[in-house]
Amino acid sequence: MKIGLNSQVLISNDREKTLSIIQASVKKERIVTIFEEEKAFSVAEAKLAIEKAYMASEETTLIVLAAKAFSPVVQNKLLKVIEEPPPKTEFILITASKASILPTIRSRLPIKTLSEEVEEEELALDLSHLTLESAYSFIQTHKRTDAKQMKPIVERICKAAIFSGSYTLDEKSLILFAHAYVALDIGSPPSFVLTTLLLKLLARKKR
């Protein structure tokens, strides 16, 4: 696997392996790593990353931030330094889901997917013809689905909604998708997250 060392977002199910590949390609003194294996990236860690970015260096410094998830608050905290990085500074964010990345970050950093689910199960929900009845039935089917199982379902719903062309989607809608994914990481009930997402989509359905 070859990974460019320019600023980017890497979507990977194996963050530790991805980090190892990057570390093997960069001199130790040129790389700053902040790694969270199981938890979401914290605001305190975002502040530390910003501090590291502004430390003077004659060589290009690669700042690698790896975590299970980056909340919208953390991404907004990092936005300015990513948008206008100090000279000779590159950022790489490694996380598990493209859906959780805010549009503001997507517009500034290229996104590369290094690993996908082997096979996506059929969604069993027609997003092109979503109704209150079909949404309710789908929610009932998944009322006992846990957060880990719900994450790929939420991601597939977001993708299907975008590609269907059946919804009026703006930046707020894309932020809603990111919030839904992150909410599962911070312990929100999966059925509540799914219900909220589908009701919000229904409200944006083209008539």
Look at 48-52, 84-88, 98-102, 200-204 and tell me which has the smallest mean pLDDT: 98-102
Rounded CA-CA distance 104/92 in Å is 15
Q: What is the mean pLDDT of residues 46-67?
A: 90
Of 32, 42, 110, the closest CA to residue 78 belongs to 42
Q: What is the mean pLDDT of residues 53-70?
A: 88
Look at 38-47, 52-61, 86-95 and tell me which has the smallest mean pLDDT: 52-61
| Helices and strands (H and E) in the chain: how many | 8, 5
Residue spans of the domains in the chain: they are 8-113, 127-203
- Confirm whether pTM is higher than 0.85: no
CATH class of 8-113: alpha beta
Task: Say whether pLDDT at 207 is over 70.
Answer: yes
Rounded CA-CA distance 35/20 in Å is 11
Measured in whole angstroms, the distance separating CA 183 from the mean position of its chain's CA atoms is: 12
In the block, residue with structure tokens 């599962």? 184
> How deeply is 155 buried, as exposed, middle or buried, from its count of CB atoms within 10 A (0-12, 13-18, 19+)?
buried
Rounded CA-CA distance 204/207 in Å is 9
9 forms beta bridges with 93, 111
Rounded CA-CA distance 112/94 in Å is 10
Asked if 128 contacts 202 with a C-beta cutoff of 8 angstroms, the reply is no
pLDDT digits (tens, 9 = 90+) for 152-186: 898 889 888 888 889 988 877 778 888 888 888 88
- Amino acid at site 205: K
Rounded CA-CA distance 189/192 in Å is 5
Rounded CA-CA distance 1/21 in Å is 8
Read off φ and ψ for residue 94, nearest 5 degrees.
-115, 125
